[in-house]
Chains A and B, each alone.
Chain A
Amino acid sequence: MTALTVGEVVAERSFQLTRDSLVRYAGASGDFNPIHYRDDVAQSVGLPGVLAHGMLTMGLAVQPVVDWLGDRGAVLDYQVRFTRPVLVDPVDGATVNVIAKVGVVDDAGARIDLTVTFNDETVLGKAQVRVSLN
């Protein structure tokens, strides 16, 4: 792999979420909290409607990095802070955009910083992926 430059965008991807995506993630993860599939339950706890699982957003946001990395390295550490919900409309769904940029390059490899947005607002804070590079 050629040398990385801090600030360089290494991957970018847009994800179209639907209510079906949330049901699929609920089954795959075992997180059946009804705020992720029932508007009435979401509204009863003061939410505007059904939200994506934070862990679904975290799970998909790292995928562009995984694909960029391929077998040239490994993910050593991955962290996020959940700062804003992703509201998933029953008809229009939700579009989540991910931009992965080089944050730090050092002897251990690199830190890739993710900018994850929905409706032009970031939904994850301090979203950082530490990778080793072969």
Chain B
Amino acid sequence: MPVNPDLQGREFPPVAPYLVGREKVREFARAVFATSPLNYSPEAASAAGYSDVVAPPTFPVVVQEATLAQLLAEPDAGIDFTRVVHGDQRFAYTRPIVAGDELTATLSVTSIKTLGGHSMVTSESTMVDASGGHVVTAISTLVIRGDES
């Protein structure tokens, strides 16, 4: 089944707010080999002007995941999860994420393209904090491989 071209422009309801925990930031930082004290030490973060430990640049992928799950589960999307490959990824930041942030992410599908039997679905997860201020937008292109035959 091909990807439904009508998905282009579709905006999904915001996912449940994600509360960024200090230990989650530290766990993620260790997993990506981060060494900056800003990722681990509230004192170092505070000295640099942050309210708590700072998340590494790719941390928003944790929040993006829930929004992409919405897309993959959309009944009329026609996206076969077993054929999905991550094509590219981008983050556009207004500010770094810090522990204590409550992030609400909203996904919209910005483009659907077909190339040589493969479909490319580009979507944006826009993340705002509890006061509604923009924090980061995660932009992801998923490649859905066509039938081999």
Contact = CB atoms under 8 A, between A and B. Distances in A.
A75 B48 CA distance: 15
B93 A77 contact: yes
B88 A63 contact: no
B58 A31 contact: no
B90 interface: yes
Interface string B84-125: 011111111101100000000000000000000000000000
A62 B58 contact: yes
B1 interface: no
Interface in A37-52: 45
A9 to B, nearest CB: 19
Contact of A80 (B24, B27, B89, B93): B89
A29 B88 contact: no
A77 B90 contact: yes
B131 interface: no
B36 interface: yes
Given A59-B56, A82-B87, A15 B33 contact: yes
A52 B69 CA distance: 21
Contacts of B82: 45
Contacts of B27: 27-28
Contact of B32 (A63, A70, A80, A81): A63
Contacts of B96: 74-75
A58 B89 contact: yes
Interface of A: 15, 21, 24-25, 27-31, 45, 54-56, 58-60, 62-63, 66-67, 70-71, 74-82, 126
13 contacts: A27-B27, A28-B30, A30-B62, A31-B65, A59-B33, A63-B36, A70-B36, A74-B95, A75-B57, A78-B91, A78-B93, A82-B86, A82-B89
